[in-house]
Structure 1
Amino acid sequence: MWLEEMPTDLVEAVCSFLAGFDAFQLSHTNSWWFARLSDGLLWHELMVHGPVPESQQHQLHTWKRRYMQARSMLFHGLGTDDNDELLRASYACVEYPPPTDWGQFRRMYFALRTMHEENFSFDLWFSLQPSTQKELDTNRYTGGVIFGLQSEERDSRNWPQYHQQFVMVDSKRKLYCSVLDVKTPVAKDLKCGHWYHLVLTYNLERQKQDVYLNGENVWSTTGTLHREWQHLLHEQVGTGYITSGGGDYPHGDFVGWYGFHGLLDEFRFYSGVLPLNEVQHRARGGELPPKRLSGTLKYPGLRGPQSRINVDLVACTRPAEGRPVEIVAIEKKASFPPRRPCRPTRTLFA
């Protein structure tokens, strides 16, 4: 029996097992499939969990195009030769979300350290890449520092006396996430090629930190913000400095910049503590109103962050699809040197 002759509900069941890119190719085999696989609701579900807002109902026809144009960010990580020279660095900086009333007067890039007197949260989608890939000539360590902060910039030749890793996956695939002095694995044996959703919330009054992985609370603890907080003047996504020794970062003898090898689809910072229902909504691929959004890595539109350096934009399966990550194509756009320096500018009128 041809698929076209099957009952509609059975066809829909078959299509539910297809990745979005497979559904797109199938939709262009003939007019029958094109008509059935051009429903905006189908493509919206592949991109965003939850109902379509009333204000966006008139844009349903655009979601198929949005899916095909969506990009995630591929960070190249640290080679197993331990060469962390700047030319190989792969990182980006978080930006303020547009539009903002003070946008033209604020720092060029968002800085978490400015939120030390308020409650805050951040969330991100990440996926580990295997240590060996055909398109890369050099083997890469698994994991890396996803969110690093230090007293010197990444492109500085100076040794960063103060440096911390608030989000990191070590070479044994253990996940660390903390803005406090204490650091412990919040998850182990992460799989390569899978999307993970990570959330950290910090309540300043209660001095309480909660960490969630895929919507589940994996660690709760209390304490003041890291003792080096005020010295961490620079931050970036995709790399961070390591001197601890003795751990799997990526090995006990390494000292230098431990770049992250994997994909990031988003890294967002919010004012206030995200409640559990919003954490779980985000973990299913849902969106939150932009009112509390303080910083975002994935600047709206088709481009990635303005600061991205040696970071490729890739087409891949979306986190909301709930399936293994499949990279379809790499968009070859030069991202080094940056169009702007990855540093905050002086604050004006603030």
Structure 2
Amino acid sequence: MDPFIVCENLVKIYKVAELEVVALQGLDLMVQPGELLGIVGTSGSGKSTLLNILGGLDRPSAGHVVVNGRNLLKAPDGELDAYRRREVGFVWQQTARNLIPYLSAQENVALPMTIAGMGWTEKRAWTKELLEAVGLWEHRQHKLAQLSGGQQQRVAIAVALANKPSLLLGDEPTGELDSTTAQEILALLREMNGRYGLTTIIVTHDPQIARAVDRVVTIRDGRTSSETIKRVADVEAALAENIEASAPAPVYEEYVVVDNAGRLQIPPDLREASGIGDRVTLEATEEGVLIKPVAGENGRGGETAVSSQTEPSSQEPAEKSSWWQRWRRG
């Protein structure tokens, strides 16, 4: 099966007066059809820029980006506009970007269908199905002021699905919600992903995101830095029932991504613990590649090393940690 999204060496440069700001610098990413992906990173790392490019709201400066067979870098403006309106659903953090306050929940959901020219019978049935799916059919006549923040985001998810998109993008969709409501919204996004087969990408600072998705990609300095992949598929129950304390903790494996140019980013905690400065030495071993700091840099010797292994050593107890650092070619 071909990937749904392919980004290769993606670059985005913003020009501000005489300055150039590099938001993405050689980012690589691949997303499979129907995948539920979380993207995390610090402010300014490039994650929202990536989302805007994937949603057709912005164009990359260079590189290669294909979504569902469409080259977004080379697509004409008209084609990109049609892609944005018909194939992509957006859920934003701010209610003002998602919904029209003087319309009811039902009217907000039906509006994109009206604009797209959907027939009255189909529009009525689809609006009802979506509001039932997000649990708000009984509140369909309520205006936004009569709905809680979590209910407003549920309406926003229904609006994002109104035109039956193939790609759903969420930019900090839980950013203004309390932790319990945020869990519920993440669980709902996962449910919609499974029910309608949507490829779904959620950009967030929310630490709960790892429990809601199957893969988390970390972006640092405009590049994909690492991937965290869930190994236990019991997140739906834990999220829906809010039983974090009693649910068994999911097990994750963390991979450091090697991009197409052979670059990798060693996580800051490993760099500090290993005394890695600006340079390292590489040594091929039977287990993989040994990365060693240069003696004397950062006031540390060259004895400590970060080891690349394909599997945890058989000498280590299985209970030692559920997190293993691995290098993987992207």
Q: RCO (CA 8 Å, sep 6+): is it higher in 1 or 2?
A: 1
Q: Give your verdict on TM over 0.5.
A: no
Greater radius of gyration (CA): 2
Q: What TM-score do the two structures reach when normalised by structure 1?
A: 0.26
Task: Decide which structure has greater helix share.
Answer: 2
